[in-house]
Amino acid sequence: MPFSKLGLSQPIVDGVKAMGYVDPTPIQLRAIPLILEGTDVIGSAQTGTGKTAAFGLPILSKLGEHQPAPRVLILEPTRELAAQVETAFRDFARFTNLRVAVVYGGVGYGRQTDALKEGVDVLVATPGRLLDHIEQGTCRLNQIQYVVLDEADRMLDMGFLPDVRRIVEKCPRARHTSLFSATVPVQIETLIQWAMRTPQTIEIGARRSPAETVKHALYPVAESQKSDLMLELLNRVNYDSVIVFCRTKHGADSIANLLKKHNHAVAVLHSNRTQREREQALEGFREGKYEVLVATDIAARGLDIADVSHVVNYDVPQHPEDYVHRIGRTGRAQATGDALTIMIAEDATHVFAIERYIGKKILREKIEGFDYKYTAIFDEGKPGALSPHERKVKAVRVRGGYYFGPSVRRRR
């Protein structure tokens, strides 16, 4: 079914056409009619499924002409997501006179306050800064008709739920509320019961599985060789653009420096960088100025970075959901992509948890010609090989390192 048959207003259908979207994605097909008829929607879909348009198009269609007070409020967990959603809304609404503004922390108040004074229809915000504006009297929510709580599980992780509640309490009761969340833990369930009215749930695909078009591979290696292996991987794979995920900000900085030394064009994205640095990193990466983006998990959730050919997990994520979110950067909108994860022996339990979570075993790969110091790491799962627990115990027994197994013993 084309966009023009879904009941959207003509300027919005034109906006979508101008963006080059031809057919609605499954979540759009299901959410658009529901939101248009005024039903509260809970959307649980993989990232990259087109959820921004799924809520954006019907809401904008309903707004009609510009009015001075905000009628739509979209809460996002991070500034990057907020900025991204604002841009998408501006694009969708390009053939209307509706105004969109974004407010988030880490930057001055001036431009945000001016935009609010001039009058906006759609306000995209992170919770903390929005509360500041409300307290300063620069923003009122008493005309809000649509609230969208996007990436609700992320807002929960970041400790924003009390702020979200305070904000929603300031919106009129007679409103439509939509909530999008990859997972629905009990706190979100409570929020749903409190904030929404007889919502309908839309679940697209298996909630846990990453895009089918992504090829997964694990690269076991000794910890001391992680960075060599990563450099080798980048030399060998034919990538257009790659995101390298690290567990810590410090780790991200040192990987970025190493990659720069090896002549890769690199940008870094993590929460210790200034807003300006983060924007420049994202923009440069999107434009192709940087071929590698080194990021911590904050960048993984929902960021719309199109055409990432490869995701490299320099560190195995400690939460299986983060694996799915990281991998969500590649293989978007039916394109294929590769997800390469570097693992050390200590990661075994996390890897098993990820495999259980996504419901499939990830292939272990060996790079031919790479000078592996230890090969016992490839014995996992073979008859007679040690279990992760046994390995750990042995590892403790072998002084000076945690690589063990036959090859280490032979060396000694």
Applying CB under 6 A, the residues found at the interface with ligand AMP are 21, 24-25, 28, 47-53, 304, 306, 332-333
Min separation Cβ 58 and ligand AMP, Å = 13
Exposure b/e, 293-329, CB count within 10 A at least 16 = b: bbbbbbbbbbbbbeebbbbbbbbbbeebbbbbbbbbb
Q: Which is nearer to ligand AMP, 84 or 296 (CB)?
A: 84
Q: Which is nearer to ligand AMP, 5 or 410 (CB)?
A: 5
Residue, CB closest to ligand AMP = 50
Q: Which is nearer to ligand AMP, 333 or 396 (CB)?
A: 333
Q: Which is nearer to ligand AMP, 53 or 340 (CB)?
A: 53
Min separation Cβ 325 and ligand AMP, Å = 12
Cα–Cα distance between 348 and 198 in angstroms, integer? 43
Cα–Cα distance between 30 and 10 in angstroms, integer? 19
Q: Which is nearer to ligand AMP, 335 or 362 (CB)?
A: 335
Task: Give the 3-state secondary structure of residue 88.
Answer: helix
Nearest to 373 by CA among 158, 223, 154: 223
Min separation Cβ 83 and ligand AMP, Å = 13
Q: Which is nearer to ligand AMP, 2 or 68 (CB)?
A: 2
- CA 367, 372, 378, 384 dihedral sign is positive
Min separation Cβ 328 and ligand AMP, Å = 9
Write the single-letter amino acid at 42. Answer: I
Min separation Cβ 50 and ligand AMP, Å = 3
Task: Give the 3-state secondary structure of residue 404.
Answer: coil
Min separation Cβ 41 and ligand AMP, Å = 14
Length in residues, the chain: 412
**Cβ pair 160, 191 in contact under 8 A:** no
Strand positions, DSSP E, 315-380 = 337-343
